[in-house]
């Protein structure tokens, strides 16, 4: 049996990662604690899921954790949680963590 949900289900189609807000708009740091990640496939699945949320700047993705920047307007932290959960992982949100 595969080690992670990524290998058990198909990940969403990849999109290009969003560029940071270059117009001087405020970007809010958000940290996601992610359960169920154990390998490179998991990292790729979470990165792909977060990259599919338009306007989000991904700071880092590591086993068990992802850090992103949310623009002042646009996607919400709920959109991030939904994206990662749809990739097959459990998520705990920590807003404002840098």
Q: What is the pLDDT of residues 5-48, one digit of tens each?
A: 555 555 444 444 444 444 456 788 999 999 999 999 999 999 99
56 located within any domain: yes
Which domain, by its residues, includes 56? 40-98
Instruction: Count up the domains in the chain and report the number.
Output: 1
19 located within any domain: no
Give the CATH number for residue 62.
Answer: 3.30.70
Give me the sheet containing 90-95, strands edge to edge: 57-62, 65-71, 27-35, 90-95
13 located within any domain: no
96 located within any domain: yes
pLDDT tens by residue, 49-88: 999 999 999 999 999 999 999 988 889 999 999 999 999 9
**Cα 39 from Cα 19, distance rounded (Å):** 26
């Amino acid at each position: 049996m595969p080690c992670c949900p990524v290998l058990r289900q198909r990940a969403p189609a990849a999109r290009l990662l969003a560029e940071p807000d270059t117009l001087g708009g405020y970007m809010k740091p958000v940290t996601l604690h992610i359960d169920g990640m154990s390998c490179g496939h998991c990292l790729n699945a979470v990165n792909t899921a977060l990259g599919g949320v338009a306007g989000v700047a991904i700071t880092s993705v590591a086993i068990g954790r992802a850090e992103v920047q949310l623009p002042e307007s646009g996607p919400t932290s709920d959109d991030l949680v939904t994206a990662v959960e749809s990739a097959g992982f459990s998520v705990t949100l920590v807003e404002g963590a840098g």
